[in-house]
Amino acid sequence: MRMSKVQVLIQGMLVAAMLLFFLLPIYWLLSTAFKFGRDAFATPPQWFFFHYTLENFRQLWQNSGTPGYLRNSIIISGGVTALSLLLGVPAGYALARSQSRLIAASSHLFLLLLMLPPIAMLIPFYLLMRQLHLLGSYAGLILLDTLFDASFVAWLMRSTFAEMPPAMEEAALVDGASVWQVFRKIALPLAWPGLSAAAIYCLIFSWNDFLFALMLTSPRTKTLPLGIMASFSAVEISWGRMAAMSFIAVLPPFFVALFLNRTWQATISQRSSPNS
Amino acid sequence: MSEKRTLLIPLALMLALTLLAACQPPTTPSPKKPFAGTALTLASMSDQYVAAFRYLIPQFQKETGIEVTLDEMGYVDLYAKLTADFVAHTGQYDLMTVDIVWTGEYAQNRYTLPLDTFMARDSAILAQDDIMPVAWSLGEWQGQHWAYPLAGYANVLNYRKDVLAQANIAPPATQQALLAAAQQLTHAQNDFYGIALLGAKGPAVAQDYMVWVQQHGGSLLDEQGNIAVNTPENVEILQFFGQLFAYAPPGATDYWWDQRETAYRSGRIAMMEGWSIARAGYEDPKISNIVGKTAITLAPVAQGVPPRYGFGGWGIGINADSANAEAAWEFIKWITSPEIQKQWVQHQGAPIRRSTLTDAQLVATYPWFTTLLQAFEQGDGNYRPRIPEYSIIQDALGTQVNAFLVGQLSAQQALDRAQMQIQANLP
Amino acid sequence: MKRTREKHYLLLLTPLLLLVLLLAIYPLLFALGISFFNYRLTDPTQTRHFVGLANYLRAFHSPLVHTAVINTLLFVAGTVSLELLLGLGMALLLNHENKLIQLIRSWLVLPMALPALVVGLIWKALYNVDFGPLTYYLKHLGLNLGRGPLGESHLALPAVMLIDVWQWTPLAMLIFLAGLKSLPQEPYDAARVDGANSWQQFWHLTLPLLKPTWLILLLLRTMQGFKVFDTLYATTGGGPGTATTVLNYHIYTQGMVFFRMGYAAALANILLVLVGMLAIFYIILLERQRQ
């Protein structure tokens, strides 16, 4: 549909306003990474023209264990995303298509998990992980994050699949295809946008989790959020260090989101249906 | 699904690499290095002295063969993680930095090992007389030592010597002079204020208020050692505290330590009380806009009050669940020894020994050590009650003093409520 | 036929169900059960006295809990409605596929990529009335901010709500986008043939068809809104006074500062019931829509 020039202009301005709102604080933080500590809060605020320095990044790489934190965050987030999708997406499909009461009941169990504030369950999880000898390991944190993220994915994918008219799947099932085949060959490809939203969600929530990471990691498996918060001492916050580390922390999610976004197709009509 | 597969391969690769990296060749003990090959984990607050740890730990490793892994955390994370480690007896950390106010809690719950047997056995080399008497409060509780002194902080008054000189004001020697100077030096229209204070709800305002209680000769405990925060004295002190805020920046009622430091370092504040460990930072051109303009003096007490100065800092303790207590004690002995303390201080550590504070070379680099020595000699490590119930006091004061500062309560009401809140929450 | 189908659906569900049953049952039961006990986390003997409903009664009579509940409801209502509205708007704006828009959508992920604590600290710095960048311009526009957005009792809750909206609207946008892309084409073709304009298509087709999406978003953001903590901890500590004390913050204070785990668990269960009631409401709407 062709839009008038006015409409394009208005839309452009809205997008610009949106970007300003969401990205200005990020820009402030990231520019602080290149400033000396004394300029972080200069008045008037220095947005573009300030004394640049790479000192914060140099210190980061040499002193603070950041390469290790980055590696750990990648391992954990990657593991959580993969495992959560593996567990949550089929579960979401089952929740969407099944008429069974038992299955509906289990969806309420997942919801219960998502509703309770984590602090009430923190100590029992800590003790449980200790029993399983998973304290301080990658597996422990991955499993715990997956517990919550996969539950969310199940609910999210449930609504995604529910939105898709079941006609094509019904036809295939009547033709003799198994549930698994219908899931893999018909439902899944059509649900790709929902899948990638779920993937981004898992990535984000495991990437910036602080509380569980604090409790379940050892110095060897520490993640980026813990490293960033260590800039917060009793006397001051090392803003340069915090900003530099945050800079590194936002890059991987950004690239993953970019990658996933590039794979989204224009509209459902451009996706060739299996029968056309 | 292929996207997932492409994700899994680099993941697997990374896992393999990290497993490989984790394998290290062990070292074997020898007569000179009886603990060689032992691995210790040290949980440290991310204060300035972390730089000193980082510098010194490789040296320790070379000398003793003991490997120390440093885990640096912020204040709240440190406390939460240590508590979880103690309560669940997971023994993840062998050594930990212990805030002075946690002493009573750690002692009562036996989280850390009492060090007195170690201290008696090795007293010959510990040079305990050299440690400033006040520093022992970093871990001493009811006659036993549950942590060893590591880093001593004194509450001092930092001031802009250029600003005071220009206004012809002498550095305040009493609290009353402090208030007068703050008033005189405040020019709000030029965005310049006489004093910066911590007003934020929670630990920040609680700690600043407690400093002022100490400086006015008040006390949060009565003679029997019971908690009594709403005495008439303390109410008057709270009102004085509130008066000071009139000469602090408007946002001061929301200041954490970071904001107060930023305010002072940005050059818009004339005076600020704070821990001595921040002093060196004001001379660092990378973080400070007021290089060369700061002087420190003893924090003034109210007229008629015998001079005592707030003392705080960190001790270092051994986890009661640690399997390597002896090796951990070796580390404590080493890092607090007179020779290493000099390097400790030179790399942003805080002093605990008289020898360090009077060393000619160090005094030349850090001329405020003479003030610090005096502050330590008359230091009071108990102005914040180091009792096990400290966190309850801190939370009550943190809430109610802030409510007073933002005008929701009168001083009497605030302290009455704090007292009630404390009584209601005591175990 | 249907039986084998249901069996297969169960098989698809089983891996997740197994994980939840194995790992979460004990913590869930613990969290639910310990609320009936008096349990101090730091007690060396770890004794637990059964006290029945005493914790709950204490909570019901506590004025601080009442304030916390009200603040929580205000916070959730405000943030969720704003996030959904803005998120939908942004999704509609950015529903084209070209390189630029894809890039913009990826940038919008950045607010979510930072830990909530760090976001809180950033905004505390931005809001700082003395030397924060944001307030600098607001003051120059002539606004008198007093003690600042976080220091004034009437400004604090809106200010922290803004932080939450800032961080999580992109998530709403992403999920709405996914929903938009799953919509079937036929109804739109039919509507266009009937002469409906884009606004009518939006109101009568898009919104109703998106119902599962925005119901799920409503549900999930509500649940997360009730659990907000890090942002408040980093900015106001629940203050000034009790202006930003929400229930989850009070739970933290009781559990991690006073170590009264039993009472904290009771408060958590009260929060659970509140969220649960809303969740049941949303789910009923969702189920009805399915038919």
Could you give the ipTM of this predicted complex? 0.86
The band of C205, judged by pLDDT with boundaries at 50, 70 and 90, is: confident
| Residues in chain B closer than 8 A to C128 (CB atoms) | 251, 254, 259
Q: Is C244 exposed, middle or buried (0-12, 13-18, 19+ CB in 10 A)?
A: buried
Band of residue B22 on the pLDDT scale cut at 50, 70, 90: very low
- The subunits that touch chain B, with at least 3 C-beta pairs less than 8 Å apart, are A, C
Residue of chain C minimizing CA distance to B251: C147
The CA distance from A135 to A123, in Å, is 12
From A142, A151, A143, A153, select the one nearest A89 (Cα to Cα): A153
CA-CA distance, B79 to C4, in Å (whole number)?
54
Kindly determine whether residue C12 and residue A28, on different chains, have CB atoms separated by under 8 Å: no
In a domain, A193, yes or no: yes
Cα-based angle B192, B196, B202 (whole degrees, multiple of 5):
140
- Contacting residues of B for C46, CB less than 8 Å apart: 87
**Min distance C38 CA to chain B CA atoms (Å):** 11
Q: Is the pLDDT of residue C179 over 70?
A: yes
* pLDDT, tens digit, 9 for 90 and up, residues B358-399: 999 999 999 999 999 999 999 999 999 999 989 899 999 999
Domain CATH number, residue C224: 1.10.3720.10
Is residue A53 included in any domain, yes or no? no
Whether A189 is in a domain gets the answer: yes
Lowest mean pLDDT among A190-199, B233-242, B331-340, C75-84: A190-199
Q: What angle do CA C5, C7, C11 make, to 5 degrees?
A: 115
- Is the model's pLDDT at B45 over the cut of 70? yes
Q: Is the pLDDT of residue B12 over 60?
A: no
Contact A234 B47 (CB under 8 A): yes
State the CATH number of the domain containing residue A238.
Answer: 1.10.3720.10
| Residue range B270-279, pLDDT digits in tens | 999 999 988 9
Quick check: helix, strand or coil at residue B273? strand
Give chain A's residues under pLDDT 70: 1-3, 64, 233-235, 265-276
**Higher local confidence (pLDDT), B220 or A104:** B220
- Averaged pLDDT score across all residues of chain B: 90
Asked whether residue A210 is domain-assigned, the answer is yes
Whether the pLDDT of residue C167 is over 70: the answer is yes
Nearest to B263 among C130, C151, C240 (CB): C130
Measured torsion, CA atoms of residues B301, B403, C155, C231, in degrees rounded to the nearest 10: 80
B279-295 pLDDT per residue, tens? 988 998 888 999 999 99
Amino acid B11: pLDDT:
53
In this structure, are strands B144-145 and B140-141 parallel, antiparallel, or unpaired?
antiparallel
Q: Rounded to an integer, what distance in angstroms lies between the CA atom of residue C157 and that of residue C72?
A: 10
> Which of C112, C175, C271 is nearest residue A117 as measured by Cβ atoms?
C271
In a domain, A164, yes or no: yes
C98 pLDDT band, cuts 50/70/90, is confident
Give residue B423's pLDDT. 92
Q: Which residues of chain A have a CB within 8 Å of the CB of C36?
A: none
Number of C-beta neighbours around residue A24 at 10 A: 15
Q: Test C115 with A95 for CB contact under 8 angstroms.
A: no
Q: Which of C129, C237, C257 sits opposite B391 (nearest CB)?
A: C257
pLDDT higher than 80, residue B18 = no
Interface contact flag, A210 C17, Cβ < 8 Å: no
For chain C, give the percent of residues with pLDDT over 70: 98
Rounded to the nearest integer, the mean pLDDT of chain C is 88
Percent with pLDDT over 90 in chain B: 76
Domain interval for residue A194: 66-263
Q: How many domains does chain C have?
A: 1
Query: Which pair of tokens denotes residue B352?
Result: 């605990």
DSSP B187-224: BGGGTBEEEE----TTHHHHHHHHHHHHHTT--SB-TT
Cβ within 8 Å, pair C240-B83: no
Looking at residue C77, what is its pLDDT?
Answer: 95
Q: A268 vs C181: CB contact, 8 Å cut-off?
A: yes
Cβ atoms of residues C233 and B74 within 8 Å: no
Q: Which of C16, C83, C102, C136 to mutate to test the interface with A (most CBs of A within 10 A)?
A: C16
3-state secondary structure B57-117: HHHHHHHHCCEEEEEEECHHHHHHHHHHHHHCCCCCCCEEEEEHHHHHHHHHCCCECCCHH
Q: Is residue C21 pLDDT above 70, yes or no?
A: yes
Full 3-state SS string of chain A: CCCCHHHHHHHHHHHHHHHHHHHHHHHHHHHHCCCCHHHCCCCCCCCCCCCCCCHHHHHHHHHCCHHHHHHHHHHHHHHHHHHHHHHHHHHHHHHHHCCCHHHHHHHHHHHHHHHCCHHHHHHHHHHHHHHCCCCCCHHHHHHHHHHHHHHHHHHHHHHHHHHCCCHHHHHHHHCCCCHHHHHHHHHHHHCHHHHHHHHHHHHHHHHCCCHHHHHHCCCCCCCHHHHHHCCECCCCECHHHHHHHHHHHHHHHHHHHHHHHHCCCCCHHHCCCCCC
Q: Which two tokens stand for residue A107?
A: 């969806």
Residue C100 is assigned to a structural domain of this protein: yes
Rounded to an integer, the average pLDDT of C264-273 is 92
Could you say which of A91, A98, A258 has the minimum Cβ distance to residue C106? A258
Q: Across the interface, which of C118, C177, C220 has its CB nearest the CB of A228?
A: C118
Domains of chain B and CATH, by start:
37-153+312-377 (3.40.190.10), 154-310+383-425 (3.40.190.10)
A-contacting chains (≥3 CB pairs under 8 Å): B, C
CA angle (B209 as vertex; B268, B183 as ends), nearest 5: 40
Q: Is residue C31 part of a domain?
A: no
Do the chains contact at A136 and B289, CB–CB below 8 Å?
Answer: no
CA distances from B47 to B43, B57, B76 (A): 12, 16, 13
pLDDT at site C146: 86
In C, minimum Cα distance to A266 occurs at C97
- Indicate the range of A148-162, B168-182, B196-210 predicted with least confidence: A148-162
Q: What is the mean pLDDT of residues B32-59?
A: 91
- Say if A39 falls within a structural domain: no
pLDDT at A265 (0 to 100): 56
Size of interface A-C (CB pairs under 8 A): 291
Among C186, C124, C114, C196, residue whose Cα is nearest residue C159: C124
Q: Does A127 touch chain B (CB under 8 A)?
A: yes
Test B262 with C131 for CB contact under 8 angstroms: yes
Give C29 to chain A, closest Cα distance, Å. 9
Q: Work out the average pLDDT over C105-111.
A: 90
Overall average pLDDT of the C182-206 stretch:
82
Confidence of residue C291 (pLDDT cuts 50, 70, 90): low
Q: Please check whether residue A82 lies inside any domain of the structure.
A: yes
Check residue B397 and give its pLDDT: 95
Check whether C19 has a pLDDT greater than 90. Answer: yes
The whole domain housing C160 covers 67-179+209-290
Please tell me the total count of domains within chain A: 1
Which of B20, B91, B104, B61 lies closest to B388 in space, CA to CA?
B104
- Please write the tens of the pLDDT for every residue from C229-261: 989 988 998 888 888 999 999 998 888 878 888
Close Cβ partners of B123 (under 8 Å, ≥ 6 residues apart): none
| Residues 6 or more apart in contact with residue C143 via CB below 8 angstroms | none
Q: Do C239 and B105 touch (CB under 8 A)?
A: no
Residue C230 has, within 13 A of its CA and on its CB side, a CA count of 23
